């Protein structure tokens, strides 16, 4: 399951600025496309919704969610940081416990965070969530003022904040620019195949991140005349640029941000606790010379 998630500062027609949370969810199981639903949570019958999530019918965890003051999304992380035999055993033993229902999954932890009655600040999440035992994942949170990307491992995490633009796909920041792994000559065909698949997955993830980052860079350069680094790293200068939501929609609809595995693309507003825009793809998108067409109508909401 590949995904693209992040935050971007935008400006409304009134001139007010806030960060919106963008997200595409990619998965290879086409049968699930028909099961994408938007859920609204209420305290009691007749009340206004206090939280919303985009999920699959029958799935109880949260992969994409928003309420006033907080939005969140989960991206698949294919690796974990454990290097010692004990760390690897602890990680995989925890996964088995999750499968057996003896430990909460990371999506269940996000559901609890989303449905907490009192607003949970990014600072509280950043200080408490990394040490909570979980499987590896990329977790993206925004409060409308800034966006947090968390490279979550079993009981630790690497944190990155930005107030202008930040994006995460399905590789660690430290993996960018790495050379492809090369299997030893005497490796088995299975080993060579696995290494090749890992490299291909990382390359595709890097390509998606580079694409939407370039969109941001070009928008900033067009408005300010300055080409930003675009890495979203803590030391990067904030050029005080704000995009339009329509620009963000265009970025999300580009190939390969939207691709043959994309089930939906959405923009969340953590300031208001709303889903500002949503497009479902009921059939795989077909690539053609860097553009794309949708083979059947998606569901758009503005």
Query: What is the full DSSP assignment across 64-83?
Result: EEEETTEEEEEEE-------
Give the pLDDT score at 102: 83
Give the pLDDT score at 283: 95
Which residues does 39 contact at the CB level (< 8 Å), separation at least 6? 52, 53, 54, 55
Q: What is the pLDDT of residues 146-159, one digit of tens each?
A: 999 999 999 999 99
Going by pLDDT thresholds of 50, 70 and 90, the confidence category of residue 181 is very low
Give the pLDDT score at 192: 38
Which residues does 34 contact at the CB level (< 8 Å), separation at least 6? 282
- Omega within 30 of 0 (cis) for the link into 256: yes
Number of domains in the chain: 1
Task: Give the whole-number percent of the chain exceeding pLDDT 90.
Answer: 65
Q: What is the pLDDT of residues 53-78, one digit of tens each?
A: 999 999 999 999 999 999 999 999 98
- Residue pair 261/28 in contact (Cβ under 8 Å)? The answer is yes
Going by pLDDT thresholds of 50, 70 and 90, the confidence category of residue 225 is confident
Structural domain harbouring 156: 3-301
- Is pLDDT above 50 for 260? yes
State the pairing for strand pair 3-11/165-168: antiparallel
Give the pLDDT score at 178: 53
The residue with tokens 């990619």 is 26
In the structure encoding, which two tokens stand for residue 73, read together? 């999304």
Which residues does 189 contact at the CB level (< 8 Å), separation at least 6? none
Q: What is the pTM of this model?
A: 0.86
Q: Quick one: average pLDDT of 13-17?
A: 88
Please report, in angstroms and rounded to a whole number, the separation of the first and last CA atoms in the chain. 26
Question: For residues 200 and 43, what is the distance between their CA atoms, to the nearest angstrom?
Answer: 45
Give the pLDDT score at 166: 96
- Residue pair 138/152 in contact (Cβ under 8 Å)? The answer is yes
Which of 3, 25, 8 lies closest to 166, judged by CA?
8
Q: Quick one: average pLDDT of 231-253?
A: 84
| Whole-number CA gyration radius for the chain | 19
Q: Quick one: average pLDDT of 26-47?
A: 95
| More confident site: 108 or 302 | 108
Q: Quick one: average pLDDT of 191-216?
A: 78
Which residues does 117 contact at the CB level (< 8 Å), separation at least 6? none
- Is pLDDT above 50 for 294? no
What angle (nearest 5°) sits at the alpha carbon of residue 302, between those of residues 160 and 272? 50
Give the pLDDT score at 118: 75
- Residue pair 244/195 in contact (Cβ under 8 Å)? The answer is no
- Residue pair 245/272 in contact (Cβ under 8 Å)? The answer is no
Give the pLDDT score at 125: 96
Question: For residues 192 and 182, what is the distance between their CA atoms, to the nearest angstrom?
Answer: 8
Give the pLDDT score at 177: 65
Give the pLDDT score at 219: 95
Q: What is the pLDDT of residues 87-145, one digit of tens each?
A: 777 788 878 988 888 889 999 999 999 998 776 899 999 999 999 999 999 999 999 99
- Residue pair 219/8 in contact (Cβ under 8 Å)? The answer is no
Which of 250, 274, 253, 283 lies closest to 265, judged by CA?
253
Helix (H) or strand (E) holding 246: helix 245-253
Local structure of residue 259 (DSSP, 8 states): -
Give the pLDDT score at 175: 83
| More confident site: 241 or 286 | 241
Question: For residues 252 and 294, what is the distance between their CA atoms, to the nearest angstrom?
Answer: 14
Give the pLDDT score at 152: 96
Average pLDDT, the chain: 86
Q: Quick one: average pLDDT of 250-263?
A: 96
Q: Tell me the backbone φ, ψ of residue 180, rounded to 5 degrees.
A: -60, 145
Q: Quick one: average pLDDT of 275-297?
A: 71
Q: Residue 69 belongs to a domain with what CATH number?
A: 3.60.60.10
């Amino acid at each position: 399951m590949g995904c693209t998630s992040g935050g971007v500062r935008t400006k409304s027609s009134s001139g007010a600025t806030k960060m919106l949370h963008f997200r595409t969810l990619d998965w290879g199981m086409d049968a699930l496309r028909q099961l994408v639903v938007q859920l609204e949570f209420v305290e009691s019958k007749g009340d206004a919704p206090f939280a919303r999530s985009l999920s699959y019918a029958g799935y109880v965890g949260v992969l994409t969610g928003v309420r006033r003051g907080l939005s969140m999304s989960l991206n698949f992380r294919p690796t974990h940081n454990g290097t010692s035999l004990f760390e690897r055993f602890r990680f995989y033993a925890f996964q088995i416990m999750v499968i057996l229902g003896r430990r909460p999954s990371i999506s269940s932890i996000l559901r609890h965070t989303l449905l907490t009655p009192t607003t949970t600040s990014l600072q509280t999440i950043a200080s408490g969530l990394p040490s909570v035992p979980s499987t590896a994942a990329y977790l993206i949170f925004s409060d409308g003022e800034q966006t947090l990307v968390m490279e979550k491992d079993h009981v630790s995490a690497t944190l990155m904040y930005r107030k202008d633009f930040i994006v995460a796909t399905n590789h660690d920041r430290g993996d960018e620019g790495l050379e492809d792994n090369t299997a030893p000559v005497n490796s088995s065909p299975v080993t060579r195949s696995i290494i090749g698949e890992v490299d291909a997955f990382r390359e595709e993830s890097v390509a998606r991140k580079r694409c939407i980052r370039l969109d941001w860079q070009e928008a900033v350069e067009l408005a300010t005349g300055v080409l930003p680094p675009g890495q979203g790293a803590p030391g990067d200068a904030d050029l005080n640029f704000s995009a339009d939501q329509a620009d963000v929609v265009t970025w999300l609809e580009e190939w390969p941000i939207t691709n043959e595995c994309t089930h939906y693309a959405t923009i969340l507003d953590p300031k208001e606790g709303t889903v500002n825009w949503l497009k479902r793809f009921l059939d795989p998108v077909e690539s053609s010379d860097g553009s794309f067409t949708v083979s059947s109508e998606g569901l758009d909401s503005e």
